[in-house]
Amino acid sequence: DHVITSLAFGAKPTTVEATCKKEWGQACYHYSSAIAQNPAWGTLKCAHGSISNKEIGRPGVNKWKRPTRQDVEGAKRPRPQSDPEMVNSGKPGGQLMRFLPDKQNQGAGKMWLGACFAPHLKEFSGPGKEDDFEDKWKSGKKGPPFVKAGIVQREAEVSVDVLPSFRISKWEHAANPPRDAGMWDNPCWPKKLAPKDPGFTLWSWDTWYKTHTHEHDFSRPV
């Protein structure tokens, strides 16, 4: 089998657009709020054209995952300022975070699943385009053959003339936006512990706290 696993982008700008659906609630509220604070995030340029971003090329991923998972499961140690999720936190353009329901998060995340890859294969893939696909594959940069499930496969990177970006062009909640970007409606907000502080689901240094106060001072010893 011949397989295309990555694209070498060209120079022609193109934008893949998506709709943030109402049922994704807190995820869409979070995205739209984050973009309002950092308009540059409204359109994201595709960083690569691979079918997946291999962790071997991102050495920080595994280094971050293990201790982060430990923190989530058992709060075993504080996050050092050098960790990826802490860099630029609390600064303009820095990371923003919101605890939100897993199902909503996963649903919304599918908006850009393959956005930098699949839409740009249509010209030479699909029913009736087998010859076009084969010609494109032959023109690409190929890796060594390997066997998978008893089938000999060979992967290739091919060139496309587009330079894609991604943006959410429609927000279904925009017609009836919730108060404070849905902060008061977040199921992950522990209302019994912090009944007056929906910002509990954010970073403690989020811009929310420029106009609101923490209900508890978590820097004090228990």
pLDDT per position as a tens digit, 119-156:
888 888 888 888 888 888 888 888 888 888 888 889 88
Q: Which of 168, 172, 194 is nearest to 183 (CA)?
A: 194
Mean pLDDT of the chain: 83
Q: How far is CA 94 from CA 64, 170, 204, in A?
A: 17, 24, 14
Containing 70, the helix (H) or strand (E) segment is helix 60-74
Whether the pLDDT of residue 67 is over 70: the answer is no
Do the strands 2-8 and 146-148 form a parallel or antiparallel pair, or are they unpaired? unpaired
Give me the mean pLDDT over the 184-189 stretch.
96
Q: Answer yes or no: pTM beyond 0.75.
A: yes
Do the strands 146-148 and 151-159 form a parallel or antiparallel pair, or are they unpaired? antiparallel
Whether the pLDDT of residue 101 is over 60: the answer is yes
Name the residue type at position 162. V
Containing 167, the helix (H) or strand (E) segment is strand 162-171
Could you tell me the pLDDT band of residue 80, with boundaries at 50, 70 and 90?
low
- Cα 202 to its chain centre, rounded Å, is 17
- Write the CB contacts of 84 (distance below 8 Å, at least 6 apart in sequence): 60, 64
In this structure, what DSSP letter does residue 64 have? H
Containing 5, the helix (H) or strand (E) segment is strand 2-8
